[in-house]
Amino acid sequence: MIIITSSITLDEDEIQETFIRATGPGGQNVNKVETAVQLRFDIAHSTSLPDYVKNRLLGMADQRLTGRGELIITAQRYRTRERNRADALHRLIELIRAASVRRAIRRPTKPSRASQERRLSHKTKHANTKKLRGRVVP
């Protein structure tokens, strides 16, 4: 079990990892060793996540999300397979944590009487200043 938050845990069987060759510089090692990790997580069929988290994750307009509701995270930042696995898992956990935070509902409020008066007095002062910049009559 992977602990995401105090109320959300993720079953390790829902995550699939495949190892691929990393791109970029690295000499002969990069052509021989598969150190990059491609982590796949099927959001749509996950039993660990609550519905509101699933909806938020599926609502992302992101290139990491496939049409079938599968999230693909590729980690190739490090030279070792273990560090790339940890990096991909950390990025998945952070993404789910961000989606699990419920935003506060905004309730529209009215401006106070004092703030309205301050606004209007500022407007009149500004208008008077601009009026004084007018053409000088000889």
pLDDT digits (tens, 9 = 90+) for 25-71: 666 666 667 778 888 888 877 777 888 878 888 887 677 777 777 88
pLDDT by residue (tens digit) across 76-119?
888 777 888 888 888 888 888 888 888 888 899 999 999 999 99
Cα separation, 37 vs 26, in Å, equals 16
**Is 0.75 surpassed by the pTM of this model?**
no
Please give the distance of CA 40 from its chain centroid, rounded to a whole number. 17
* Whether pLDDT at 131 is above 80: yes
Task: Check: CB of residue 22 under 8 Å from CB of residue 76.
Answer: yes
In total, the chain counts a number of residues equal to 138
Q: How far apart (Å, rounded) are the C-alpha atoms in residues 29 and 35?
A: 10
In sequence order, the 6+-apart residues with CB closer than 8 A to the CB of 80 are 35
Q: Does residue 121 carry a pLDDT above 90?
A: yes
